[in-house]
C-alpha cells in the first residue's frame, strides 16, 4: 500500500486537475479522511462548509472517481444554486431509488465515469517520482 503522503500527493494533483476542468470560481477545500459517514460512503460534498471529503482507501482509482463525483456536485451548486439545493434537500436518502435517480446524482455519476480515468492517469504521471 502507498503511504498516506503519496496518496495525498496524488489526490491533490487530481484535485487541481479537476478544478481546472470544472473551472470553479469558489473551489472547495479537499479533505481526505479515514472516517466514513456511513459504510457505503466513499465521499461527500458539503456546500455550507465548501468542502469535498474523500474517504481514504487502498483503491486510489476509486478515490479519484469519488473525487470527480463530489467535485461535480460543487460545480452543480455553483451553477444551479437554489435549484440544486432544492433537489438535493428533497432526496429521501433512505430511499435508494429516490437518491440514485436524482438528476444531480445521475449527472455526478456520469461525470465521474467519463473523467476519472483521465484524471487518474494525469495524477499518476505527474507524480511518477513517488514510485522510484
Query: For residue 40, how many other CB atoms are within 10 A of its CB?
Result: 7
- Cα 65 to Cα 95: distance, rounded to the nearest angstrom: 23
Task: Please report the pLDDT score of residue 110 as a whole number.
Answer: 98
| Contact predicate 98/91, CB 8 Å | yes
Take residue 4 and report the three cell numbers written for it.
Answer: 498516506
Residue 15 confidence (pLDDT): 98
Nearest to 52 by CA among 34, 37, 36, 74: 74
Question: 36-63 pLDDT, tens per residue?
Answer: 766 668 999 999 999 999 999 989 999 9
Q: Are 77 and 45 in contact (CB under 8 A)?
A: yes
Mean pLDDT by 10 residues, the chain (132 residues): 90 97 96 80 93 94 97 97 88 78 94 98 93 76
Query: Can you say how many angstroms the Cα of residue 116 is from the centroid of all Cα atoms in its chain?
Result: 10
Amino acid at each position: 500500500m502507498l503511504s498516506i503522503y503519496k496518496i495525498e500527493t496524488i489526490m491533490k494533483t487530481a484535485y487541481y486537475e479537476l478544478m481546472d476542468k470544472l473551472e470553479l470560481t469558489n473551489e472547495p477545500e479537499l479533505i481526505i479522511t479515514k472516517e466514513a459517514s456511513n459504510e457505503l460512503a466513499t465521499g461527500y460534498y458539503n456546500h455550507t462548509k465548501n468542502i469535498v471529503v474523500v474517504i481514504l482507501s487502498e483503491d486510489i482509482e476509486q478515490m479519484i472517481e469519488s473525487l470527480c463525483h463530489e467535485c461535480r456536485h460543487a460545480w452543480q451548486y455553483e451553477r444551479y444554486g437554489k435549484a440544486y439545493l432544492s433537489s438535493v434537500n428533497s432526496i429521501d436518502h433512505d430511499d435508494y431509488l429516490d437518491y440514485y435517480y436524482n438528476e444531480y446524482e445521475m449527472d455526478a455519476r456520469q461525470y465521474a465515469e467519463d473523467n476519472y480515468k483521465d484524471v487518474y492517469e494525469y495524477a499518476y504521471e505527474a507524480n511518477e517520482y513517488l514510485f522510484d
